[in-house]
Amino acid sequence: MTKTIPLLVTNKNNLLIIFTRNPELGKCKTRLAASIGDVAALDIYTFLLKHTVSITENLNVTKQVYYSVKIRENDLWDDTIYDKKQQEGTDLGLRMEYAFQQGFKDGYKNIIIIGSDMYDLSQTDLKLAFQSLEQHDFVIGPAEDGGYYLLGMKNLNPKVFRNKEWGTNTVLFSTKNDLKTEDVKFLLERNDIDTLDDIKDVPFFRDQFLNK
């Protein structure tokens, strides 16, 4: 007998957007792969995707997964839990702006975006971020590399998505400057995994992936 998995009841005011890239050999974690090889980088990325699923699947908010290249069915992202969409735009900023724009158009009041590969992120962090948006207009999770791992807002502010050198250590500073007159809540700084230096001293990754 086939078991039917019901859709989760979610908070209709809150939307979590997850940006993801399909886990394909040679096409993910390229900066990390330059040091440890494509196979190991893919193994790590797949592990990180599973971690993101584990911390979001039971979160009481609407969840949308935005694919970078092509929407996949029957993958790690359960169709009964995650609404699957396609990223639109010529750079990361415009793609994020499009996702936020669509979310507000659909009537969501509090929208947060994250990537799909943050091992340092927990469900508690996400709950705190949504709670913060109840009292603040923006919430930012700063990353150690000078970017951010989480961005949330109550109303669309296009400035934060424009004129950025994405993937560099200037993104957080520039975003703070865009929001210097706004009510912003900053979360704890977290480690974003992009290069070997980001994980070589983390026991779990060193033992599971680097010492094989």
Q: What is the pLDDT of residue 26?
A: 67
- Residue 3 belongs to some domain of the structure: no
- Residue 169 belongs to some domain of the structure: yes
Residues of the chain with confidence (pLDDT) below 50: 1-9
Q: What is the pLDDT of residue 61?
A: 96
Cα maximum dimension of the chain: 58
- Residue 163 belongs to some domain of the structure: yes
- Domain total for the chain? 1
- Residue 6 belongs to some domain of the structure: no
- Residue 68 belongs to some domain of the structure: yes
Burial of 163 (0-12, 13-18, 19+ CB in 10 A): exposed
Q: What is the pLDDT of residue 11?
A: 62
Q: What is the pLDDT of residue 2?
A: 40
Q: How many CB atoms lie within 10 A of CB 178?
A: 19
Q: Give the CATH number of the domain where residue 184 resides.
A: 3.90.550.10
Structural domain for 194, as ranges: 11-210
Among 109, 108, 107, 89, residue whose Cα is nearest residue 97: 89
- Residue 204 belongs to some domain of the structure: yes
Taking the whole predicted model, whether its pTM rises above 0.95 is answered as no
- Residue 2 belongs to some domain of the structure: no
- Residue 121 belongs to some domain of the structure: yes
